[in-house]
Amino acid sequence: MPQQRPLRYNNGAVLLHWLTALVVVAQVIVGFMFVNMERGPTRSEMFTVHKTLGATILLLALVRLAWRVANPPPPYPPELSRWERVAATWNHRIFYVLLIALPLTGLLAVSGGASTDGRTTTPLLGGIPLPLIPGVSKDAGGQAGSAHVVLVFITLALLILHIAAALKHQVQRNRAAGRMPPFKALGEEAVPAP
Ligand code: HEM
C-alpha cells in the first residue's frame, strides 16, 4: 500500500518559516523607521540593526532553501483549485527570490557607497565585519539602492496576498488551513462535547 504523505510542513520548515516571518516583519519596521530619521548616531545604530537583520534574512533563506530541497513541501489537498495552487506556488517561489535579492541589493548599495573610501567591510551588531562586494561603482550602488526600494514594495504586496490567502483557508477551514502549524485544519482541533 502506498504511504500517504502528511499534508503539513515538517517541524524544521515550520521553525524556519516563523523565524523568517519574525525577522522580515522586524526588518520592515526598522527599515521604515531609519530611512526617515535625520543623520546622526541613532540613525547609524538603526542602520547597523537593519544590515544585521538583512544578513540574517539571507542566511535564513539559504538554510531554508537547502532544507526545502532535502524536505519537499507537502502535496496540496485536492480541494485546492488549480489557480490557487499556481498562485501559492509562485507566491512562495518569488518570496525565496526576494529573500535573497533584498539583502544582496542592500549590500550592493552599501558597497557602492563605500567605493570611494577604500573600506572592504561594513560593521554588523557586535562589530561583526560583513565583507563588501568589490568593484561596485557609486552609480551601480545607487541603482541597486533604487531596486532595493522597489523590491521592498513588491514584498509588502505579496505579503498582504500571502496573509490574506492564509486567512481565507482559516475561514474556509479546508485541509490547506493546517499546512503551516500552529494553524490547524478541520478535524485537528478537539471535537466539542455534544
Ligand atoms: C506573518 C504572517 C504570515 C503568515 C500568517 C504566513 C502563513 C503561511 C502559511 C499558512 C503557509 C503555508 C502555505 C501552504 O499551504 O503551502 C506559508 C508558507 C510560506 N510562507 Fe508564510 N506566512 C507569514 C509570513 C511570511 C513571511 C514574512 C514570509 C517571507 C517573506 C513567508 C514566506 C513563506 C514561504 C516562502 C512559504 C512556502 C514555504 C515552502 O513551500 O517552502 N511567510 N506561510
Q: Which atom of ligand 1 is nearest to the CA of 73?
A: 40
Residue 59 within any structural domain of the chain: yes
Residue 101 within any structural domain of the chain: yes
Residue 174 within any structural domain of the chain: yes
Distance from Cα 36 to the centre of ligand 1, integer Å? 29
Answer whether 179's CB lies under 8 Å from 133's CB. Answer: no
Residue 184 within any structural domain of the chain: no
Torsion of CA 102, 111, 28, 166, to 10 degrees: 10
pLDDT of residue 155: 98
- Ligand 1, atom 19: closest residue by C-alpha: 92
Q: Best of 180, 183, 184, 188 to mutate for ligand 1, by most ligand atoms within 8 A of CB?
A: 180
Residue 2 within any structural domain of the chain: no
Answer whether 33's CB lies under 8 Å from 25's CB. Answer: no
pLDDT of residue 2: 55
In the predicted model, residues of the chain with pLDDT beneath 70 are: 1-5, 186-194
pLDDT of residue 172: 87
Total domains in the chain come to 1
Give me the domain span that covers residue 91.
11-178
Residue 187 within any structural domain of the chain: no
Phi and psi torsions of 176, nearest 5°: -70, -20
Enter the DSSP assignment of 130.
E
Across the chain, where does the E strand assignment appear? 121-123, 129-131
DSSP string, 49-103: HHHHHHHHHHHHHHHHHHHHHHSPPPPPPTTS-HHHHHHHHHHHHHHHHHHHHHH
pLDDT of residue 194: 38
125 pocket-lining for ligand 1 (C-beta < 6 Å): no
Residue 191 within any structural domain of the chain: no
User: For 31-60, what is each residue's pLDDT tens digit?
Assistant: 999 988 999 999 999 999 999 999 999 999
- pTM score of the predicted model: 0.91
168 pocket-lining for ligand 1 (C-beta < 6 Å): no
pLDDT of residue 192: 41
Residue 188 within any structural domain of the chain: no
pLDDT of residue 4: 64
Dist CA 30 CA 17 (whole Å): 20
Dist CA 53 CA 35 (whole Å): 15
Q: Which atom of ligand 1 is nearest to the CA of 24?
A: 27
Provide the CATH number for the domain around residue 77. Answer: 1.20.950.20
